[in-house]
Structure 1
Amino acid sequence: MQAYWLSLLLSAGAAVVGMWWCLRCISQARHLLDTPTSKIRSAAQGYVEFYGVITARPDDAMVGPLTGKPCVWWRFRIEEHVQEDNKRSWRSLESGVSDALLALSDGTGECLINPKGAQVRTTTREVWSGNQRHPRLPRKNGMLGFLSIGKHYRYTEERLQVGQPLYAIGDFRSSGGGRQGLDLAAQQGAVIREWKSDFSGLLQRFDSDNNGQLDEQEWSRVRLAAQLEAEDRHRLESLRPVQHHMAKPREAQPFVLSTTGEDELARGYYWQAAGGAALCLVGALSLAWQLGLQH
């Protein structure tokens, strides 16, 4: 009886997970297809998509950790070939992903992209095997080299490189260039909170009677000074050149960086949705069959 209930639970779980995955993939595909392509210079603030080319940044000096090839973003995995119970498989040993900012240009402007949390799809992918855990280490010689024979490792490295086309969809924000309006009350409050974090310094500036407290008149002076400081900061921010940034959206919208276009990405999501629908169908049929056996 215990095995029967476990089987029912697994079938119901497969149906639910398959349905959830199907709906999620369809939703992500629709986000990609329904969001119009924008130009960086004129893009509205919020959720947008861009097509452009990856450009070099002045401080870029990045290389792939396994190949040593120049790039602006990388992801790697090192696996070991193991045998357990007469079964051979690959066991993951190490993995990692870079988080440096990327630069995307579309001819109208440049946008810096924070890739943290993004689904990154790149056509530059290398997979190879070797006898050392880290392929860039010098090869072992003598007896140690002999002992390393038979230890097999598989390396995978993916990269984004300067000059590659890039499709990007995510949360877009601009700063500087006089683009941002001044919310005086919010900025004033932020300045006051900043000053209050160093309360002794605040007292030194505004406690005119040196009693260790700020009375109502002294707080009025604090608020006035904070207002003037907020206005000065906004004025200086407006003089800075405009900068565009893209990052992961706060809401459950897809954040995707890809060297292929949205049509191919959407097609992939639809295939995943079909797989989820198939899993849901198999789970539902198995559940119905098992329940039918009890009647």
Structure 2
Amino acid sequence: MIGLAFSLAATVGGGWWSLRRLSQARHLLDTPTSKIRSAAQGYVEFYGVLREQADTAIVAPLTGKPCLWWRFKIEEYCGDDDKRTWRVVERGCSEGWLLLDDGTGQCLIDPRGAEVRPSSREVWRGNLRHPRGPAQTGWKGWLDSGKRYRYSEERLHGGQPLYAIGEFRSSGGGRQGLDLGAAQGAVIREWKGDFAGLLQRFDGDRNGQLDEREWNRVRLAAQLEAEERHRQHSQRPAQHQMGKPREAQPFILACAGEDELARQFYWQAAGGALLCVAGALATTWLLNALLA
């Protein structure tokens, strides 16, 4: 029964992984590369260079190296004499926004929820729960092979190329239309939060209530306020942002291009399909053995 459970899990998990990677590969190949300056709102892909942001200093937690984004994992070698394995004891990931420049404009990227695939990765070992100083390389790193902890750290650095696919949205620059009804309602809800102030402005007869005529004045003033806020907002320089899509679409940040990523996804989909087939064959064999 335990073997049957494992074989069923392999069948379902392998099939799900294969379909997921195939879908992601098709999204990557079917989405045309856009330029930040002229990109339409919605799901897009960009290819550019990471830039450092002013007044932003990020340092990787294990190596202490300056970077723009990091992810780390600390594992401990533990277990009994018969079975010893690496167990994750600590992991973390930075959430600082990234700045992508493609030559036509710049876009801020919120990496939360993204599948980040950096090119800079270091793995080394030591005897301390938290390493001190940068990773050991060469013969020193080889001598560390018997130590108790294993550290891995991945980073994104300024000047590195970056492929990004996700949900794109812009504000300012006159790019956003005005939904007057929604904007007016938002202003009225804001004013209702200070009802005493609302009464002071619009309660003409000072009876502590707003009649229909006075509410009409509130709605007219809120409409004018909403139009003025939109005008001021439209005069600001355009700001572009990318984040996790609302729908089940891939959100990927990678130092590799889309062709290389799609090729990797196809290989992973093939591996998932093989696991699914192997699990199905094992399930069939085990069911026949149980029923025999």
Paired AA for residue 126 in structure 1: E
- Once the two structures are superposed, the pairs formed by residues 90-101 of structure 1 within 5 Å of their partners are 90-101=86-97
- Residue 64 in structure 1 maps to residue 60 in structure 2: yes
How many Å apart are 1:235 and its aligned residue? 0.7
Instruction: Specify whether residues 133 and 290 from structure 1 end up closer, same or farther in structure 2 by C-alpha distance, changes over 3 A only.
Output: closer
- 1:53 is paired with a residue whose SS is strand
Q: Distance in 1 between matches of 2:188 and 2:61?
A: 45
Paired AA for residue 152 in structure 1: R
Structure 2 contact 125–147 (Cα < 8 Å) conserved: no
- Residue 32 in structure 1 maps to residue 56 in structure 2: no
- Once the two structures are superposed, the pairs formed by residues 80-229 of structure 1 within 5 Å of their partners are 80-136=76-132, 152-229=148-225
How many Å apart are 1:250 and its aligned residue? 0.3
- Residue 78 in structure 1 maps to residue 77 in structure 2: no
> TM-score normalized by structure 1?
0.89
- Residue 233 in structure 1 maps to residue 207 in structure 2: no
Residue ranges of structure 1 left out of the alignment (5+ in a row): 138-149
Q: Distance in 1 between matches of 2:216 and 2:149?
A: 69
- 1:274 is paired with a residue whose SS is helix
Structure 2 partner of 1:262: 258
Structure 1 partner of 2:141: none
> TM-score normalized by structure 2?
0.90
Q: Distance in 2 between matches of 1:289 and 1:96?
A: 42
Structure 2 partner of 1:271: 267
Q: Distance in 1 between matches of 2:165 and 2:175?
A: 22
How many Å apart are 1:8 and its aligned residue? 4.0
Paired AA for residue 40 in structure 2: A
Equivalent pairs: percent with the same residue?
Answer: 70
Structure 1 partner of 2:143: none
How many Å apart are 1:151 and its aligned residue? 6.1
Cα-to-partner distance string for 1:252-289 (whole Å, 9 max, x where unaligned): 00000001111111122112211221121112112222
How many Å apart are 1:136 and its aligned residue? 2.9
Paired AA for residue 62 in structure 1: I
Q: Distance in 1 between matches of 2:182 and 2:13?
A: 44
Structure 2 contact 29–258 (Cα < 8 Å) conserved: yes
- 2:36 is paired with a residue whose SS is coil
Cα-to-partner distance string for 1:174-210 (whole Å, 9 max, x where unaligned): 1111111111111111111222223233223222233
Moved more, 192-201 or 229-238: 192-201
Structure 2 partner of 1:42: 38
Q: Distance in 2 between matches of 1:207 and 1:287?
A: 76
Cα-to-partner distance string for 1:49-100 (whole Å, 9 max, x where unaligned): 0110001111221111111111111111111121324222111111111111
RMSD of Structure 2 on Structure 1 (CA): 1.7
- 2:256 is paired with a residue whose SS is coil
Structure 2 contact 119–255 (Cα < 8 Å) conserved: yes
How many Å apart are 1:225 and its aligned residue? 1.0
Paired AA for residue 20 in structure 1: W
Q: Distance in 1 between matches of 2:81 and 2:202?
A: 76
- Once the two structures are superposed, the pairs formed by residues 272-287 of structure 1 within 5 Å of their partners are 272-287=268-283
Paired AA for residue 159 in structure 1: R
Moved more, 161-170 or 276-285: 276-285
Q: Distance in 1 between matches of 2:13 and 2:151?
A: 31
Q: Distance in 2 between matches of 1:273 and 1:192?
A: 52
Paired AA for residue 284 in structure 1: A
Q: Distance in 2 between matches of 1:202 and 1:188?
A: 15
